[in-house]
Structure 1
Amino acid sequence: MKELIPKDEYGIFADAHDTEMIVPKQWIYIIEKEQNRVKVGVSAMPEERMKVLERTGGFKILRKQLLGPFQNGYQVECEIHRRMRYEKLISEWFAIPFETAVLVAEEVAESRGDINPKQNTDEVGTDASFSRLFPQYAEICNFYEALNDAGLTIYKDENGKIWFESEELGMFTAEFFSAFMKLSKTKLEEDK
């Protein structure tokens, strides 16, 4: 199979017109709230993300740890989640001591992460690359983060139908969700 975009010596895709390396911008964050509740996530702007989580989740972050930056942050995050799957509560939250979560995350980051010390911040960013390849990348990331914040997980069944799962409502379809939202909007308008 022919490569459309050449890779540099680190396996990172180079720009089609230039061989500058892409600066990794995905950070793994590990946060702890009360009762050994730990969240492991990925974000290009982890400090802002943690502020949003506190504000929308109604809790205070007790401790936090950042790892990265990575280009393959989502793959690193996925492997961390896989290794902690038996402690999973819901979505990206785990019932695990903070120190244990950090140790698992550091081990995965060391073995799977693509940190490249030769890169510097003057080089081309991932945002520019993703913007060229996927014009709606930021909106898609925001959408998935919103679903995650709402405690929703998305599944696709063998027929290709999309299903959502939440702790409160269980499994439901997009059609159900749409009808539920319309009903909620109507109810809000009636209450005014």
Structure 2
Amino acid sequence: SKEGRYTEDDTPCPLGVYGQSKLAGEQAIAAVGGQYLILRTSWVYSTHGKNFLLTMQRLLQEKPQMRIVADQIGAPTWAGTIAHSTRALIERWQAGQAGDWGIYHLTAQGETSWFGFAQAIGEHLRAEGKACAELEGIPSSAYPTPAKRPLNSRLNCSRLQQQWQVVQPQWREALRECLAKQH
């Protein structure tokens, strides 16, 4: 329900069982004590497994038109970005350049909706000469799901940059890099 980006200091308020289990995991790690890093991320995609990118690539080529939620906002974050950032954190720690321990947000920079993410995937398909569905943006209320989804999934990642000097790429740049590695 927050208007802007969530910070690590905002009180978590998970909407469902999935979010509650993630919060319980964070709390269990913090309760153990010692040095730890918890990296919160969102809208993760990859060229492997099941995720929005792969689903959209398939559906955009199979269907003539698609309706995609346009009022949920976040930052699509490539699994490769998370891996590169995790490596950078480990390297800084090993070099004695660690920041404070604790919870950090790690997403790509920028923001978009699921509709905007699907449009970017479609642009890539068209650039490759592939067929692509016509897209229509719709409100969340027109696409009910069993689990309630937040309209705002934007995370403020400035603490990670300030404390650890680890900067994330723009989401479109990371998507291009991911898709280039897909071939």
Q: Choose 1 or 2 for highest CA Rg.
A: 1
RCO higher in structure (CA 8 A, sep ≥6):
2
**TM-score, with length taken from structure 2:** 0.28
* More strand as a share of residues: 1
**TM-score, with length taken from structure 1:** 0.27
